[in-house]
Homo-oligomer: A and B are copies of this chain.
Amino acid sequence: MTLRPEKQSMKERILETADRLFYLRGIRAVGVDTIAAEVGISKRTLYNHFPSKDELIAAYLQGRFNKAPPSDKPPIEQILGTFDRLERGFASKGFRGCPFVNAVAELGSEDKSVKKIAIAFKESRRIWFRDLLLKLDVPDPEGLATQLTLLVDGSIAQDLVRDDPSMARAAKEAARVLLGNAGVGIVGRDGGNTAGAAKKRSSSRRTRRPPDV
């Protein structure tokens, strides 16, 4: 009966489907019945693994907490590479903004646990930037790290409404300026200039998975 390996546990299957639907259509817009039907299980089974939708939501956001893969590349490349990965994410078909920001926007200040997870995620990214900046001996790693997160979240929000992956490139150029201002030497500018980046209203949206946010 098991046509394919099916190494996933039931809980994983539920969580995977919930992740996809919550992220793509919105948390409030997706009911537990829809999730159960999509997984191909009964609603009862779903509730056997997650006591409530709220817990499923929390698990969904926890699962979005990325596994930032450690890299041995130079810090400056890692920092700027963030925006390249961001641009690929924007261009992927299923991109729908930052799941944490979206969740907070949807569920408001009612759900405290959701906000806590969102805060933790945002802070983790800021710390990731900061630790890289520490290696670069910039004057103010804390403040610069915060500014870089602003560019990240700003480009995400802009792409969410505009569907314009070039926002990531604009953010990258701004990041380069901020880094340069902090005394970090400019590293290989890629291809074209960034002028009029907002003009190339790309209508691409290829078929890739949303890598990370």
A interface with B by C-beta (< 8 Å): 24-26, 28-29, 96-98, 100-102, 104-110, 115, 118-119, 122-123, 126, 139-140, 142-143, 145-147, 149-158, 160-162, 167, 170-171, 173-174, 177-178, 180-181, 193-199
A161 touches B100 (CB 8 A): yes
Residues of B within 8 A of A181 (CB): 177, 180-181
The complex places the Cα of A151 from the Cα of B178 at a distance, in Å, of: 12
Q: How far is the CA of A119 from the CA of B118 in the complex (A)?
A: 25
Knowing A143-B198, A177-B178, the reply to whether A162 touches B26 (Cβ < 8 A) is: no
Residue pairs across A and B with Cβ atoms less than 8 A apart, 17 shown, are: A25-B110, A28-B28, A97-B101, A101-B161, A119-B162, A139-B195, A142-B195, A142-B197, A143-B195, A143-B196, A146-B170, A147-B170, A150-B150, A152-B154, A174-B174, A177-B177, A177-B178
Closest to A97 in B: B105
Please pick, from B24, B122, B142, B155, the residue contacting A162 in the complex, using a CB distance under 8 A. Answer: B122
